[in-house]
Amino acid sequence: MIKLTQHLHKTMRNRQNGMTLIEVLVALAVFAIVGITLLSSTNHSVQGLSQLEERSQGLFVADNQLTEMRLKGIWPETSWQSKTVTFGNRQWYVRWQGVNTPQPQLRAIDVEVSTTPFVLDSEPNIVASLRTYVIKQA
């Protein structure tokens, strides 16, 4: 009886020494899925950071345009005006227009910043837009 128990114990121990091919394949599949998920997550994070950087720089450009107009005391026209600016080693396309308000001495200024030129028949890639108000000096 003791020899039979020892033999069964030895046989079971020998079977559990290694992993079967199916177990190895399942483990590899799990690792592959986890790896792909991590890679995808990292890719989305990098894209998000790139868009955040572009938007932040675009807001700087828009704010600079508004500040320049305030310092020069410009009363904005109600038609779009535009110019090209270099900021952060990059070309930015800026446009602005005045928007009438119910108060004739008060006008809104809309500024839009794009990474592509403002062309009549195409949609610009607007990365930032700001609105502020100015009072006409007497």
Residue 69, number of CB atoms within 10 A of its CB: 19
The pLDDT tens digits for 12-69 are: 555 566 778 898 899 999 999 999 998 888 888 888 888 889 999 999 999 999 999 9
Q: Is pLDDT of 4 > 70?
A: no
Q: What is the CATH number of the domain that holds 105?
A: 3.30.1300.30
Radius of gyration of the chain (CA): 33
Average pLDDT of the segment spanning 74-84: 91
Q: Which ranges of the chain would DSSP assign to H, the alpha helix?
A: 2-15, 21-72
Overall number of domains in the chain: 1
Q: Is pLDDT of 7 > 70?
A: no
Q: In degrees, to the nearest 5, what angle opens at C-alpha 9 toward C-alphas 6 and 15?
A: 140
Domain of residue 79 covers 2-135
Which residue do the tokens 């799990």 mark?
A: 30
Report the percentage of the chain scoring pLDDT > 90. Answer: 52
Q: What are phi and psi of 34, to 5 degrees?
A: -65, -45
